[in-house]
Chains A and B, each alone.
Chain A
Amino acid sequence: MECVRLIVGVILPYIAVLVFVGGMIWRIVTWKKLASPAMTLFPAPATEGANAINTAKEILFFKSLFGGDRVLWILAWTFHAVLALIVLGHFRVFTKYVDVTLGMLGMSDDAIKAMSGGAGGAAGIVILIALALLLIRRMALQRAREITGVVDYFALLLIGAVIITGNAMRFGAEHFELKQTHDYFYSLATFDYVSGMDVLKNNVFFVHMCLAFLLIMFIPFSKILHFGGIFFTHQLIRKQ
């Protein structure tokens, strides 16, 4: 068991980051190399600057989807916006400097804890509800159900498992020590002897992290690649 903890706790993080970063770079470089003749879809922005703004609207507000399927838009936008917040929030787990910075801005430790518990806790609940509704929609609506394959359900379930284990840590009895994770990620990031290994003894944390790294590695090689692709595909059809 110690051996497994060591592999997952010390080696998997490096592999996951390498696979994710390498995979995304490979995708983007490959895309960039391919010819992209104009295939303008109107109404199209007149200038490249306006096209970039249009793409930003698509990325931040899912502009096209807003016109296409309003119900899906509400669910998908909520899901992704909260996901972005949660990813940001996780930096507090990776490094102590988030708390240090907030402290310098005048927030007391208690206030930071309250914010983390309140906003983070709410985010965990909201994203789980959004995900569940997305899954229900996928199963209930014929037009989505009939094009959904095993791999599509797998992606949703994997994300669901990451969220549930994350929530279990926050709301469960076995809460982890923030100090330990700071030490742990700091030593990973500095390629130092990995300290704070005790945090891996927290089973829920262990499973949560393990699944999260799997998910990260899954991104460049699955439909979640839309995370990178959306930066390009709208430009392709809207450029004049």
Chain B
Amino acid sequence: MSDADVKKDADLKKKVVDAVKAIKKGPRAMRMYMEMCAKCGTCASVCPVYFGKADKRYNPAERTDVIRRIYRKHCTLSGSLLGKLAGAEDFDPADIKEWEKIFYECTGCRRCASYCPFGIDHSVITRKGRAILDQTGHTPETMQKVVQVSLETGNTDGANPAALKAAVEFLEEEMQDEHGVEIKIPVDVEGVDYFYVPPSGDVLVNPEATMGLAKVFHVLGLSDRWTMSSTCFDGANYGLFTGNDKDMKDDNKLYVEEAKKLGAKTMLMGECGHAYRIMKMMMEKTGWWGKLGFQIANCMQWTADHINNGRLEFDKSKNPQPVTYHDPCNFGRSCDIVEEPRVILDAVCADFREMYPNRGDNWCCGGGGGLSAMDDIQDFRMEISGKKKLEQIRQTGAKYVATACSNCKRQLTQLMEYHKEEIDVGGVHDMLSRAILINGKAAEREDYV
């Protein structure tokens, strides 16, 4: 090894060890997870990845132990004296390549935390591992690219305002064709009540969800009370996935500033689990930017409320196929948005079926934690992390899987194709869009069923 390489390794080791030692200073959960795992293996038995393949590297407790061993070595007396006997081991710079893989083999779905006798949430340690990778310049290229594009353009697709406006115009034309009336999707309108923040995929890739929501606004007579933004139309925030808090907050700030500029009273988050989680459970709850002047809500809550109040009407026969709902982990376990999508699907589908287990107990699609965006690990996602989900979906007999998350949609679509299942995957408002009555009539389109 050359002198330069030796120095590089020493630098890497120092950075990693310092980052692990910082766990002593909190947060409380992370430090306690270093100190009290009983190694009972329950996490492995409820983990979608370990279900896919019972391999030590996929065992959640083992992944956490990768960091715990270093913690023991540097932060405990027994670890520094007894080494491996006390479960301690120093960091070896040669392991960093393995770290790049191992910390991106956890979907961060938090299912382990639901069943661990001590409530140990391994996703916290996964994110710590990813943060260390990020600090040392080892975030996988595919992930890094998404973050970069997102910080540069404000959205993960790298689309510019003109593209957004073109997409919106196209959707308006579609809706005109479907219903014979003008249904607006306002863009950059200031002083309205609602600022809609979807994942960019729901405008550019699977735009039916956005059409569905526009139709709800139309029926309620609120078409001039909402807006999208031509610069901020993607709630996706990959800083959560790379463990980089600064990236996460920078990305988030764009949206908060935009909401303030627009003067909206409510930021209406779209069908994107982690975007809503960051806005609602992290930014708003812990007050990243002080007093906001607007509230955070989710479009499924909003629509479900109007369904419960009897303000919307549907023709269920437009969605005759069996439909099931996949609870995105970030909506279910992390935000408690579980009943609302069911209210919507129950109202708009003729044959809605649950998959089991569901809600807070649901199995991850296998693409959580940003994995869905990583094409370099597609085999892993199709053969291992998505295996349980495939089984669950097959058992329902559904022909359409509705889910409220662009990452889940991408993973599930690929999963169905890969395993040659003729099952469609889409959003919740997508189904609503096909069944909602406007002037007493549902959309006229032939290519739906």
Contact = CB atoms under 8 A, between A and B. Distances in A.
Interface in B64-80: 65, 76-78
Nearest to A236: B29
Given A43-B336, A233-B119, A237-B121, A34 B44 contact: no
A171 interface: no
B38 interface: yes
A44 B78 CA distance: 37
B39 A36 contact: no
Given A38-B281, A143-B59, A146-B59, A233 B120 contact: yes
A9 B374 CA distance: 63
Interface stretch (A61-69, A122-130, A189-197, A203-211): A61-69
B27 A37 contact: yes
Q: Identify whether the interface residues of A are mostly helix, strand, loop, or mixed.
A: helix
A166 B333 CA distance: 45
Interface string B21-41: 000011111011101111111
Contacts of B29: 36, 39, 233, 236-237
B116 A41 contact: no
Most chain B CB within 10 A, of A42, A226, A229, A238, is at A42
Contacts of A151: 85-87
B61 interface: yes
Contacts of A109: none
B62 interface: yes
A232 B30 CA distance: 12
Contacts of A34: 25-28, 31
B119 A150 contact: no
A41 to B, nearest CB: 5
B42 A69 contact: yes
Contacts of A229: 32, 35-36, 118
B114 interface: yes
B42, B54, B285, B360 — most chain A CB neighbours (10 Å)? B42
Contacts of A148: 39
A9 B44 CA distance: 44
Nearest to B45: A69
Contacts of A30: 31
B255 interface: no
A149 B87 CA distance: 6
Contacts of A42: 332-336, 338, 360
B113 interface: yes
B14 interface: no
A88 interface: no
A146 B114 contact: no
B27 A35 contact: yes
Given A35-B26, A146-B56, A226 B65 contact: no
5 contacts: A34-B28, A37-B27, A39-B121, A58-B119, A223-B39
Interface of B: 25-29, 31-33, 35-42, 44-46, 50, 54, 56, 59, 61-62, 65, 76-78, 84-87, 110, 113-121, 124, 281, 285-286, 332-336, 338, 359-361
Interface of A: 27, 30-31, 34-44, 58, 62, 64-65, 67-69, 72, 76, 141-144, 146-152, 221, 223, 225-226, 229-230, 232-234, 236-238
For the complex of A and B, 6 pairs with smallest distance between CB atoms: A68-B115, A34-B26, A144-B41, A143-B44, A42-B336, A143-B41
Given A69-B45, A221-B76, 9 more contacts: A39-B121, A42-B332, A43-B360, A65-B117, A67-B361, A229-B36, A232-B28, A232-B32, A233-B29
